[in-house]
Amino acid sequence: MFDHVSLAFSELCVSHLSAGYNADMTRRYSLADRFLMDLSQGLKTLHGGEQLKHRESPGQDAGNDTLSPRERRHAAGLMRVNHAGEVAAQALYQGQAATARLPEVREAMEEAAREEEDHLAWCEERLAELGEKPSRLGPFWYVGSFAIGAAAGLAGDKWSLGFVAETEKQVCDHLEGHLKKLPEQDQRSRAIVEQMKADEAHHGETARQAGGANLPRPIRDVMKLASRVMTRTAYWF
Ligand SMILES: [Fe+2]
Ligand SMILES: [Fe+2]
């Protein structure tokens, strides 16, 4: 029920965007437009990842499920963590795009966010195949991450890009850990995690090459702590 209401509201947000155009005919959005777009994207992230997919899941042709009930529960817990991470990634990128100063940086952020949409959809699909649902704390992950992303964007592009590079590095390490924890025969989840890891490494490299600064150690440590809270909680809830 709530899913249908939020998706209808999301469509309503998009239909109310006021279209202005720059001299080169690219669209110009007001602050209110951007707010509605972010709200619409947030609702889709939480309640309709499937709509956001650009590429088919790499897990779809990766063998059949032959997991025991215990393995299935464990795989679902891990994939719920990954899904929560992708909800957070969506929000981080949207938050940064909302406050980034240089248009090229904003575009790079939005492109990375589009790639994260696939990850979100793939994890959501895999969770459904495993008979489980995404984290119930999704709105909390989204709002918190959006605020962190917006703060990183306000700190300036070199820090914002540095934040992306560090986030993606930590995500790659995390996904590497999941490849060790996922049941060996869960080829479908493993194929998804492998592709995500490759994409995240690419996002991190792009951000570094675009001028991302190395973040100070205390910030990196706080980021690790925040992600530990999320990964431990989302496994269960
Ligand atoms: Fe991702
Ligand atoms: Fe990424």
Strand segments (E) across the chain: 20-21, 27-28
Q: From ligand 2's centre to the CA of 24, what distance in Å?
A: 31
What per-residue confidence (pLDDT) applies to 2? 42
Q: From ligand 1's centre to the CA of 86, what distance in Å?
A: 5
Task: State the CATH number of the domain containing residue 151.
Answer: 1.20.1260.10
Is 197 among the domain residues? yes
What per-residue confidence (pLDDT) applies to 19? 44
Q: From ligand 2's centre to the CA of 18, what distance in Å?
A: 30
What per-residue confidence (pLDDT) applies to 36? 66
**Domain with 16 in it:** 1-36
Q: How far apart are CA 89 and CA 25, in angstroms?
A: 30
Is 9 among the domain residues? yes
Co-location of 119 and 24 in the same domain: no
Contacts by 173-178, CB closer than 8 A, 24 or more apart: 174/85, 174/227, 174/231, 175/82, 175/200, 178/78, 178/81, 178/82
Co-location of 103 and 24 in the same domain: no
Co-location of 9 and 98 in the same domain: no
Neighbouring residues of the ion ligand 2, judged by CB less than 5 Å: 200, 203
Co-location of 214 and 126 in the same domain: yes
Is 196 among the domain residues? yes
Number of domains present in the structure of the chain: 2
Tens place of pLDDT per residue across the chain (237 aa): 444 444 444 444 444 444 454 554 455 566 666 666 676 667 667 766 677 788 899 988 877 778 889 999 999 999 999 999 999 988 888 888 777 776 776 676 677 778 888 999 999 999 999 999 999 998 988 999 899 888 888 888 888 889 889 999 999 999 999 999 999 999 999 999 999 999 999 889 988 888 889 999 999 999 899 889 988 999 999
Helix, coil or strand: residue 54:
coil
Is 43 among the domain residues? no
Do 223 and 202 form a contact (C-beta atoms < 8 A)? no
Name the residue among 121, 117, 56, 57 with its Cα closest to residue 90: 117
Ligand with smallest separation from the Cα of 122: 1
Co-location of 26 and 69 in the same domain: no
What per-residue confidence (pLDDT) applies to 156? 84
Q: How far apart are CA 165 and CA 58, in angstroms?
A: 24
What per-residue confidence (pLDDT) applies to 74? 95
Is 29 among the domain residues? yes
Is 41 among the domain residues? no
Q: From ligand 1's centre to the CA of 85, what distance in Å?
A: 7
